[in-house]
Amino acid sequence: RSAPAVVTVTGAAGSIGYASVFRIAAGAMLGHDQPIALRLLELPQSVPAAVGTAMELDDGAFGLLKSVDVFDDPRKAFDGASFALLVGARPRSKGMERADLLAANSDIFALQGAVINEVAADDVRVIVVGNPANTNAAVAAAHAPEVPPQRFTALTRLDHNRAIAQLSHRAGVEVGEISRVTIWGNHSATQYPDIFHARVGGRSGADLAADREWLVDDFIPTVARRGTAIIEARGSSSAASAANATIDHVRDWVLGTPADDWTSTALPSPGVYGVPEGIVCSFPVRSVDGQWEIVEGLEINGFSRARIDASVAELEAERVAALTS
């Protein structure tokens, strides 16, 4: 039995935090033989709610859960952390401009990046869920010069899983028979779910994509706007599915992606696929020996190129706005 892995979850009293921590404690993220030390970081006003969550975690009597601590001080919460799940973020309030939202989050993620740089474990892996997730990850990475940039990632796995589910319905194929789907770009309405390289049961994704009307008017917007559809249906935003995707992301990062498949993760571009260096962009990735490797050499057709470029342009504008705010 190894020493407990220190897992810090920010925004732990929020919806996604609440939906994540019980499954993490049950071993769904790091495996059923890895003990866990959970750290819950919240804003001071939400510390009581996080304490309530910690009490419920206690009541789960999880064999793998060695400790749960609640903090409102990032310095304590990230001390020695090997996994930093950055879920808490400033939501857009009424009358708030997009620039204000970017600025407010830039402050939060600059501070958290700097603290992680200083006090987290040497092997720290960061996943940003809080929106605007890609840009928040870019800001945090920019403030953590001693952490390799590729350890700062943002969640696009929920979009990836949504794309697989939609393909499964369309083709009448089990989700387990679908592979090599890619989300490119930003976790926003400009994201591009690419099925040209996918395998869908016995068919190729390119074959399905030949129905351009379905691709353009149905599949792509359904995936990209799924978050809004969930809000309309449930009256609040995706929580359990986002928690599930976060757990999938970290599990694959640590334990590896299946041979013959890949997944989608946003990480700082090393300058591939025409994405400028440092832009936190979603790519097709494999996890090898605990590190993300971008799947290179995929042929990008004109249809895909235009959509990737549009999302990357949005990311560049966001980054400029966040870093100069």
Q: Please enumerate, by residue number, every residue annotated as part of a binding site.
A: 11-17, 92, 98, 105, 112, 129-131, 162
Please tell me whether residue 14 adopts helix, strand or coil conformation: coil
Measured distance CA(132)–CA(128) in Å, rounded: 9
Residue from 57, 89, 178, 247 in contact with ligand NAX (CB under 6 A): 89
Specify the residue, 102 or 200, whose C-beta has the smaller distance to ligand NAX. 102
Specify the residue, 150 or 237, whose C-beta has the smaller distance to ligand NAX. 237
Amino acid at 291: Q
Specify the residue, 43 or 295, whose C-beta has the smaller distance to ligand NAX. 43
32 is catalytic: no
Measured distance CA(85)–CA(124) in Å, rounded: 10
Residue at token pair 């999938």: 248
Annotated binding site for substrate: 92, 98, 131, 162
In 10 A of CB 107, how many CB atoms?
A: 13
Specify the residue, 108 or 171, whose C-beta has the smaller distance to ligand NAX. 108
Catalytic member of 143, 160, 187, 197: 187
Instruction: Decide if residue 14 touches ligand NAX (CB under 6 A).
Output: yes
Instruction: Decide if residue 42 touches ligand NAX (CB under 6 A).
Output: yes
Q: Of 302, 9, 264, 215, which Cα lies nearest the Cα of 130?
A: 9
Please tell me whether residue 84 adopts helix, strand or coil conformation: strand
The CB-nearest residue to ligand NAX is: 14
Order of strands across the sheet that contains 199-200: 178-179, 199-200, 203-204
Binders of ligand NAX in range 108-167 (CB under 6 A) = 108, 129-131, 133, 155, 158
Binders of ligand NAX in range 194-223 (CB under 6 A) = none
Annotated binding site for NAD(+): 11-17, 105, 112, 129-131
Q: Which two tokens stand for residue 221?
A: 């917007």
Instruction: Decide if residue 238 touches ligand NAX (CB under 6 A).
Output: yes
Specify the residue, 131 or 166, whose C-beta has the smaller distance to ligand NAX. 131
In 10 A of CB 63, how many CB atoms?
A: 11
Measured distance CA(151)–CA(173) in Å, rounded: 34
Q: How far is the CB of 292 from ligand NAX (least distance, A)?
A: 16
Using the rule CB under 6 A, give the single segment among 11-19, 24-32, 165-173, 269-277 that binds ligand NAX.
Answer: 11-19
Residue at token pair 């939501």: 91
Residue from 4, 15, 22, 201 in contact with ligand NAX (CB under 6 A): 15
- Torsion sign over Cα 267, 291, 263, 78: negative
Instruction: Decide if residue 41 touches ligand NAX (CB under 6 A).
Output: yes
Instruction: Decide if residue 101 touches ligand NAX (CB under 6 A).
Output: no
Measured distance CA(222)–CA(209) in Å, rounded: 15
241 CB-side CA count, 13 A: 17
Instruction: Decide if residue 87 touches ligand NAX (CB under 6 A).
Output: yes
Residue from 24, 242, 279, 315 in contact with ligand NAX (CB under 6 A): 242
Using the rule CB under 6 A, give the single segment among 38-46, 53-61, 252-260, 279-287 that binds ligand NAX.
Answer: 38-46
Measured distance CA(193)–CA(187) in Å, rounded: 11
Amino acid at 86: L
Evaluate whether 282 touches 203 at the Cβ level (below 8 Å): no
Binding site for ligand NAX (CB under 6 A): 10-11, 13-17, 41-43, 46, 87-91, 108, 129-131, 133, 155, 158, 187, 227, 237-239, 242
- The set of catalytic residues is 187
